[in-house]
Amino acid sequence: MLWLNLKQSMMASALRYVSKFKSFVILFFTPILLLPLIILVPTKFARCAYVIFVMATYWCTEVIPLAVTALLPALLFPLLKVLDSKQCTSNVATTTLFLPIFASMSRPIGLNPLYVMLPCTLSASFAFMLPVATPPNAIVFANGHLKVSDMVKAGIMVKIIGVLCVFLAINT
């Protein structure tokens, strides 16, 4: 009987301790506990399920803000090689994410934020070569008269010219 009471009191104290650090435990141990899913079943489907389970756990428990939870696929899908980053976010979305970072980064080094933000914005619009690069490219490619190789041949020169123009604009 004494052993049972001791065991129950230890369990109660452990539960109280865990409840204090519930957010920490959920935040750090959920991805670790779900790791066997992507280790034992090394497919894209399992990695996608891993991200969904982690997201669902974070969403239901609200250990991180919901807006941050909603951005997890944009971070984890390319990291786990479920999707390419271009497939997760468009160039405009990527630019929108990077501009505040570049603006805050340029202030401590004493640079005008426009000197860093403008090349980022221009470079994001230099996706000329592939059908998935921009919606107009996809519309033209869907017509069926062009091959990917035709788009690459035409887009490579335009991309080189664009990169050179941004390089010259940055350095002048």
Chain position carrying tokens 């991309």: 159
Q: What is the pLDDT of residues 118-130, one digit of tens each?
A: 887 777 777 667 7
List, for residues 96-114, the tens digit of each pLDDT value: 777 888 888 888 888 888 8
Tokens of 81: 């090689």
Predicted pLDDT of residue 58: 82
Note whether 92 and 57 are same-domain residues. no
Whether 149 and 94 map to the same domain: the answer is yes
Do 95 and 165 fall within a single domain? yes
Residue 137 lies in domain: 87-171
Burial of 58 (0-12, 13-18, 19+ CB in 10 A): buried
Q: Are residues 108 and 76 in the same domain?
A: no
Q: Are residues 79 and 144 in the same domain?
A: no
Three-state SS for 147-159 is CHHHHHHHHHHHH
Spans of the chain, pLDDT less than 50: none
Residues 52 and 104 in one domain: no
Task: Look at residues 35, 60, 83 and tell me which one is the last residue of a structural domain.
Answer: 83
Domain count, the chain: 2
Per-residue pLDDT, 38: 76
3-class SS of residue 144: coil
> Do residues 112 and 155 both lie within one domain?
yes
For residue 50, the model assigns a pLDDT of 83
Question: What is the structure's pLDDT at 90?
Answer: 64
The two structure tokens encoding residue 12: 């109660």
pTM of the model: 0.44
145 and 118 in a common domain: yes
pLDDT at 172: 60
